[in-house]
Structure 1
Amino acid sequence: MADPLLRDEGAWTVKANCIGEDTSVFFPGPDDDPQAAIKICNRCVVRDDCLNWAIETKERFGIWGATSERQRRRI
């Protein structure tokens, strides 16, 4: 079964550090610290691919490519 976080969005997803991680880490609540997700993303070899995907698809929720939705809107 594919990791629900990645939703089978491309070949790059099989190399992502978030595979097998608790998806709630990447979808922090308003009072939660996103640093755990960002730390995982910053060590990931497909961080740029992930970020590009999130920007292209206008992903509104979660940490993708070490960025929040607010940060992605500014890019």
Structure 2
Amino acid sequence: MSGFQERLKSARQRLGLTQEALAEELNVTKASVSAWENGREKPGFRLLPKLRVVLDVSLDDLICGLDADRELPAE
């Protein structure tokens, strides 16, 4: 299973965005995007909705690695 940083990088690359282009879309620095993708930092909670829109990916998939069509396991 891939972690958040791998899912983020994969989603960005799938759209053909550079770290700099994603940073511009989110109004953050390229260094911030790099830190997220290298696991040194995580994006702030307030950025998650914009990440979802820009990357065209569900937050379930981006954060938890769950496809939107899959159900959570029963507890």
TM-score normalised over the length of structure 1: 0.34
**What TM-score results when the alignment is normalised by the length of structure 2?**
0.34
- Structure possessing the higher radius of gyration over alpha carbons: 2
Higher relative contact order (CA 8 A, sep 6+): 2
* Structure with the higher fraction of residues in helix conformation: 2
